[in-house]
Structure 1
């Protein structure tokens, strides 16, 4: 049975191979280890392998981990990659470095207001519903420009990029079409906002296609930590 360290290295190897295949540098693609539902020991194991960026979906679970690990002084950069309700913005503003799932101005305003003054601005990505699925979070592509304009003006937020969860499909061409649309949208927005440098897309099953379509940050859980408990 492979260890977390071995699986982490395999993911880095996959990222490097995917980058080389499309004439990109491996260091242009960052790895976010998705540690939701995983124990602290698993996070510590990945940390020992050099991993510093971790993503959590559930606010309360994440806060418990952040508080427990803060006592050990690990320099972890925590990303919220799950939905955020308005009643949780204060604690997220206090504990996280990034929020990747911003899709409402109200949430953005609350995060900016509640970000402690002694902390650096909260790094944020707008979540885009690139597949236009009715039951999926995120704003539609044509709504990105208007929300970005508002978010960029908030003093305690730093607009860094776009995030998406493409359609779960085995149709590679359909997936690639969605990712290329997202890449084109990102490129247009990056011409307007110099702070945009993050295109967060790609997971354990599709990171190679995502890297080929411009992803700068892949969110990988299962390939590092194994399957989640049901």
Structure 2
């Protein structure tokens, strides 16, 4: 029998969580978080057929992904880190999806790009001062601003507070999405993606469980 890879294991865990929740596994996109990982580390996943990857920095993605995309043009690249407004045009040229729209200045910058990627609004779900994301109380007005500009709004994203049980925060994000008629839920990482899938995640962002601990 062939050896089971970390990618196989993560996919199986997602499928199991989806089954428990009565969901279709096809409705969950696994984003392999490749930030800080070299092209040599990324290629085995590409060779195994995986096509969704997440990066946190525009410059790092510019350094490694054009060459990788030349070999694998069907890759979908997700921007999952904080994005500076002055990098909006560069990000739009490289990424297919941006998961970290969280403020008016970035919204205005993205509104000016020629071909805006799909967008997830990042929510500061735990109301943490040190963390990015739009405040929960500001969601109605901010989502209305995105929609008024006609940009491709797909859903909401969150990163729960570290050290706390993630499920209540995932449930809150799912409720916010329902309240605002949004289907996309970008939530869940290596330590909690199964809980996220059970609570409706459409995109999970997994790094360590696929690549191993960072050196």
| TM-score between the two structures when normalised by the length of structure 2 | 0.93
Q: Contact 1:126–1:144 (CA<8 Å) still a contact in 2?
A: no
Match of 1:176 among 167, 176, 197: 167
- How many aligned residue pairs are there? 213
Q: Contact 2:28–2:202 (CA<8 Å) still a contact in 1?
A: yes
Q: CA deviation at 1:49?
A: 1.6
Partner Cα distance (1:182, 1:54) in 2: 22
Instruction: Find the residue that maps to 1:152 and give its secondary structure.
Output: helix
Partner Cα distance (1:139, 1:13) in 2: 33
Aligned to 1:59: 58
Q: Contact 2:86–2:109 (CA<8 Å) still a contact in 1?
A: no
Q: 1:109 to 1:61 in 2, by over 3 A?
A: same
What do residues 148-189 of structure 1 show as CA deviations (whole Å, max 9, x unaligned)? Answer: 11111224x3000000000112x43xx222221111101111
Deviating 4+ runs (over 3 angstroms): none
Partner Cα distance (2:39, 2:73) in 1: 12
Partner Cα distance (2:204, 2:50) in 1: 13
- Unaligned runs of 5+ residues in structure 2 are none
1:67-86 counterparts in 2 under 5 A?
67-86=66-85
Q: Contact 2:62–2:94 (CA<8 Å) still a contact in 1?
A: yes
What do residues 33-73 of structure 1 show as CA deviations (whole Å, max 9, x unaligned)? Answer: 10001111222211122211110011100111222223324
What do residues 123-163 of structure 1 show as CA deviations (whole Å, max 9, x unaligned)? Answer: 000000111111111011121111111111224x3000000
Instruction: Find the residue that maps to 1:142 and give its secondary structure.
Output: helix
Q: Contact 1:32–1:54 (CA<8 Å) still a contact in 2?
A: yes
Q: 1:212 to 1:73 in 2, by over 3 A?
A: closer
1:159-174 counterparts in 2 under 5 A?
159-169=153-163, 171-172=164-165
| TM-score between the two structures when normalised by the length of structure 1 | 0.87
Q: CA deviation at 1:115?
A: 3.0
Aligned to 2:200: 214
